[in-house]
Amino acid sequence: MIIPSHSAARFGRGLIVCGAALAGLAACEGNANGVPTPAQSSIADLSLSPDSIFLVAGQPRQFEISAVGANGLPLSNFKATWSSSNRSVATVDAAGVVRRAGPGRAIITATAGGQTAEGIVGAQ
């Protein structure tokens, strides 16, 4: 099939535009709905609020996580992983909800984009 030169030129421009759009998406990751989210590596700072939590049996508490990008602007739609330094004191789920497991002290750590943030948990 022979493509007229003016059609080939339009076709070539389409590839350039599409290629540029794909290159822009390469700096993003997608969520479960396919919506682009900030690339994890673009996180410059991560923090938890509050700094510490005191747990009472049967009353879970939640750490709120916030991230700032390399440009200094707040980020949203990023995924963090959570862990507890002492699961016999406190457990933490994927949303940052902390539950008392027993008395003592634990450090809850959130990690995203190579950055970490910690919160202290106490329980009696």
Q: What is the CA radius of gyration of the chain?
A: 22
What is the percent of the chain where pLDDT is above 90? 64
Tokens 């070539």 belong to which residue? 12
Phi, then psi, of 9 in degrees rounded to 5: -65, -45
C-alpha to C-alpha distance for 32 and 37, rounded to whole angstroms = 10
Closest CA to 110 of 70, 54, 66, 69: 66
Is the separation of the CB atoms in 98 and 60 below 8 Å?
yes
User: Token pair for residue 80?
Assistant: 């963090």
* Residue (of 107, 83, 85, 114) closest to 96 by Cα position: 83
d(CA 93, CA 57): 16
Nearest 5°: the CA angle 24, 26, 30 is 105
| The pLDDT of residue 80 | 96
Q: Calculate what percentage of the chain has a pLDDT beyond 70.
A: 67
What amino acid occupies position 25? L
pLDDT at res. 105: 98
CA 71, CA 38: separation in Å to the nearest integer? 12
Split at pLDDT 50, 70, 90, the class of 11 is: very low
